């Protein structure tokens, strides 16, 4: 369709000026937007209030849809559970029998571990739950991997707290609003997580690739020591994530590390637990004792 | 002959085609609100509980915005890319100002194209959209990469393809909305 002839408004001065003003406004608006972008590049948390506002006003709808989605998933799960129920029951009973002894063993180990820790006078505030919520939306159209959590400051959720699901680590809180919080998922390229291989404690770092996978890089140089199927857990270094949160499974070995898929799938996790920072006191003390007093944690 | 009672036509509401259309005016509120609301609501699609491992959800706000601009030239003012883009930034997770800049550049590009290629058909509009959508998506990656660590551009290819292929559908939705908008 041809555009309407608004480009040549005739001899009317008023129309000519009006047209001119729209172009001036367009250019000026573009420049303003570029300035806003540069401000948010310099200070990424600068406009967090606006984003929080956006998340808060859409949260009710997102909550409803999230609940619908969850109940639909549950319904299909319940329906599919009826198929082969008897044989499944037998198999599960066998499995439970086999794992009972392992459970008892693990329980004994936990007690022994606590005793040994007591001897070493190691103190830590691990695994303290702050709040339990649901992931209600994610930035599915952006290259950033950020999800919105259904609880916020009303439940004591603050920035830089780890978030995990029943299956494994999900991410950490980067912005908290009155009733919602934004979570940087572990698959975001920005999110670095100190991890280790569960079998031998080989220390490594994980960085998101933005496509649902994470890149595991070992701290020591040389050929990649990983094998496909290796299980990666958090190591607790840095004092943010507590150790031994299930993290990812290696799916491919690369020349200097490995590609892994996180256990926690944000789209399929029934709930998300916001935890206390592991060793938060030590962290704050360390940051206060920084030589120049400025070495604070970079916000987001 | 006596007509049976059942055969008597009850006076029903006359069809629209027999109604007088003189002096009927389109609702100004509808004419203004529908394009604005449709673009803003499309931008809000990302707040629904849709979780993808990679950026796969098409930028519906951008698609709707380009559809209105290409289907109804002259409806959206030249400067409208900035406010619509900034609203999109609230929900997309991109750094604030990113879409404000990119959408504005997109609409200015269309303005330039309008002055060169005056008579276009639907397929040429689709071609223009097919060039602008990947450009805006790459620009979004670039602007996210300024502030944060960013993944490789190759990651965006599926989203680009899906978005370009979805454009005709969005134009059809937009056309339906337009006929509703202009209905008396």
**Smallest CA–CA separation between B178 and chain A, in Å?**
14
**What's the topology of domain A129-292?**
Thrombin, subunit H (2.40.10)
Q: List the domain boundaries for chain B.
A: 26-182
- Name which of B57, B77, B95 is nearest A41 (Cβ-Cβ): B95
Mutation pick from B51, B64, B65, B71 vs chain A, by most beta carbons of A within 10 Å, is: B51
* Residue B107 tokens, joined: 């609409």
Give A165's contacts (C-beta < 8 A, 6+ positions apart).
A264, A266, A269, A270, A271, A272, A273
Residues of B in contact with A140 (CB under 8 A): 46, 50-52, 55-57
In this prediction, residue A279 carries a pLDDT of 75
Task: Please compute the mean of the pLDDT values over residues A181-210 and round it to a whole number.
Answer: 89
Position B39 scores a pLDDT of 95
What is the rounded average pLDDT of the residues A93-121? 85
The CA R_g of chain A, rounded to the nearest whole Å, is 25
Backbone angles phi, psi at A60, to 5 degrees: -55, -45
Q: pTM for the whole thing?
A: 0.80
- The residue count of chain B comes to 184
Q: Taking the domains of chain A in order of start, what are their residue ranges?
A: 88-122, 129-292
What does chain B look like in DSSP terms, one character per residue? Answer: -PPPGGGSPP--PPPGGGS--TT----HHHHHHHHHHHHHHHHGGGGSS---SSS-S--HHHHHHHHHHHHSTTTS-GGGHHHHHHHHHHHH-SPTTHHHHHHHHHHHHHHHHHHH--S--HHHHHHHHHHHHHHHHHHHHHHHHHHS----GGGGHHHHHHHHHHHHHHHHHHHHHHHHHH--
Chain B residue closest in CA terms to A5? B74
- Helix ranges (DSSP H) in A121-185: none
What is the CB neighbour count within 10 angstroms for residue B63? 23
Taking the CA of residue B48 and the nearest CA in chain A, the distance in Å comes to 5
Contacts of B91 in chain A (CB under 8 A): 54, 58
Instruction: Give the mean model confidence (pLDDT) for residues A86-112.
Output: 88
Across the interface, do A141 and B58 touch by the CB < 8 Å criterion?
yes
Packing angle of the helix pair B60-71, B98-116 (nearest 10 deg):
20
- In this prediction, residue A224 has a pLDDT band, given cuts at 50, 70 and 90, of confident
For the residues A189-208, what does the mean pLDDT come to? 88
Are the Cβ atoms of A25 and B78 closer than 8 angstroms?
Answer: yes
Count other Cβ atoms within 10 Å, centred on residue A281.
12
Are the CB atoms for A205 and A192 separated by under 8 Å?
yes
With beta carbons less than 8 A apart as the criterion, state whether B44 and A131 touch. Answer: no
- pLDDT of B10: 53
Angle at A277 between CA A275 and CA A282, to 5 degrees: 160
CA A170 to chain B, closest CA, distance in angstroms equals: 12
pLDDT digits over A240-288, tens only? 888 888 899 999 988 888 999 998 888 878 788 998 888 777 767 666 6
Summarised one tens digit per residue, pLDDT across range B7-16 is 555 555 555 5
pLDDT band per the 50, 70, 90 thresholds, residue A300:
very low
- A231 φ/ψ angles, rounded to the nearest 5 degrees: -100, 130
**Residue A188, exposed/middle/buried by CB under 10 A (0-12, 13-18, 19+)?**
buried
User: Of chain A residues 235-254, which have a CB less than 8 A from chain B?
Assistant: none
Q: Do A210 and B156 touch (CB under 8 A)?
A: no
- Give the pLDDT confidence score for residue B129 in this predicted structure: 94
On whether any CB of chain B is under 8 Å from the CB of A53, the answer is yes
Whether B50 sits inside 8 A of A138 (CB atoms) is yes
Most confident of A13-17, A52-56, B120-124: B120-124
| Cβ pair B94:A25 closer than 8 A | no
Task: Please give the biggest Cα pair distance in chain B.
Answer: 89
Ranking A31-45, A83-97, A169-183, B22-36 by mean pLDDT, the lowest is: B22-36
Backbone angles phi, psi at A147, to 5 degrees: -120, 160
Return the pLDDT at A3.
56
Is A187 a residue whose pLDDT tops 80? yes
The pLDDT score that the predictor gives to residue B1 is 57
Q: Considering only alpha carbons, which residue of chain A is nearest residue B124? A: A1
Chain B residues within 8 A of A300 when measuring between CB atoms = 148
Percent of chain A with pLDDT over 70: 88
Q: Is the ipTM of this complex over 0.90?
A: no
Which A residues, 175 through 214, put their C-beta within 8 Å of a C-beta on chain B? 187-190, 207-213
Kindly tell me if the per-residue pLDDT of A52 is higher than 90: no
Find the closest chain B residue to A134 by CA distance: B49
Q: What is the DSSP letter of A61?
A: H
The model's pLDDT over A132-180, given as tens digits with 9 standing for 90+, comes to 888 888 888 888 888 889 898 988 888 888 998 888 899 999 888 888 8
Q: How far is A195 from chain B (nearest CA, A)?
A: 19
Q: How do residues B133-176 score in pLDDT, each as one tens digit?
A: 999 999 999 998 887 777 888 889 999 999 999 999 999 999 99
Stronger pLDDT, A292 or A150, i.e. the higher one: A150
Q: Choose, out of A1, A6, A20, A33, the residue to mutate when testing the contact with B (most B CBs < 10 Å).
A: A33
pLDDT band at residue A122 under the 50/70/90 scheme: low
Mean pLDDT of chain A, nearest integer? 83
Distance from CA of B154 to the nearest CA of A (A): 10
């Amino acid at each position: 369709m041809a555009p309407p002839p608004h480009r040549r408004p005739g001899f009317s001065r008023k129309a000519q000026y009006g047209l001119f003003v729209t172009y001036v406004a367009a250019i000026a608006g573009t420049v303003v937007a570029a300035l806003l972008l540069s401000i948010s590049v310099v200070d990424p948390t600068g406009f967090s209030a606006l984003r929080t506002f956006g998340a808060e006003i859409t949260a009710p709808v997102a909550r409803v849809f999230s609940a619908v989605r969850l109940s639909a998933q549950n319904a299909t799960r319940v329906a599919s559970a009826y198929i082969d129920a008897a044989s499944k029951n037998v198999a599960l009973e066998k499995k439970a029998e086999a794992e009972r002894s392992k459970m008892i063993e693990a329980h004994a180990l936990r007690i022994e571990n606590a005793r040994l820790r007591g001897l070493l006078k190691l103190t830590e505030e691990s695994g303290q739950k702050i709040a339990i919520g649901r992931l209600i939306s994610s930035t599915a159209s952006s290259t950033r991997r950020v999800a919105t959590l259904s609880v916020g400051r009303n439940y004591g959720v603050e920035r830089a707290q780890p978030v995990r699901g029943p299956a494994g680590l999900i991410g950490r809180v980067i912005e908290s609003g009155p009733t919602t919080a934004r979570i940087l998922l572990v698959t975001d390229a920005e999110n670095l997580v100190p991890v280790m291989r569960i079998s031998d404690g080989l220390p490594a770092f994980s960085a998101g690739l933005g496509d649902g996978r994470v890149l595991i890089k070992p701290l020591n140089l040389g050929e990649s020591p990983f094998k496909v199927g290796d299980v990666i857990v958090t190591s607790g270094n840095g004092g943010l994530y507590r150790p031994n949160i299930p993290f990812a499974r290696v799916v491919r070995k690369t020349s200097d590390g490995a590609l892994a898929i996180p256990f926690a799938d944000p789209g399929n996790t029934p709930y998300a637990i916001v935890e206390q920072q592991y060793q938060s006191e030590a962290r704050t003390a360390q940051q206060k004792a920084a030589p120049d007093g400025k070495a604070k944690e970079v916000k987001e | 002959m006596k007509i049976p009672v059942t055969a008597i036509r009850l006076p029903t509401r006359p069809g629209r085609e027999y109604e007088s259309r003189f002096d009927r005016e389109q609702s100004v509120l509808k004419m203004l609100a529908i394009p604005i609301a449709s673009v803003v609501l499309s931008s809000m699609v990302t707040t629904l509980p849709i979780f993808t491992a990679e950026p796969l959800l098409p930028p519906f706000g951008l698609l709707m915005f380009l559809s209105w601009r290409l289907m109804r030239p002259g409806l959206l003012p030249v400067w409208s890319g900035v406010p619509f883009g900034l609203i999109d930034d609230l929900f997309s997770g991109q750094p604030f100002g990113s879409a404000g800049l990119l959408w504005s550049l997109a609409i200015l590009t269309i303005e330039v194209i309008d002055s060169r290629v005056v008579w276009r058909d639907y397929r040429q509009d689709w071609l223009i959209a097919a060039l602008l959508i990947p450009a805006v998506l790459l620009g979004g990656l670039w602007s996210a990469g300024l502030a944060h660590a960013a993944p490789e551009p190759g990651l965006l290819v599926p989203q680009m393809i899906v978005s370009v292929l979805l454009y005709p559908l969005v134009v059809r939705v937009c056309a339906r909305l337009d006929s509703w908008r202009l209905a008396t």
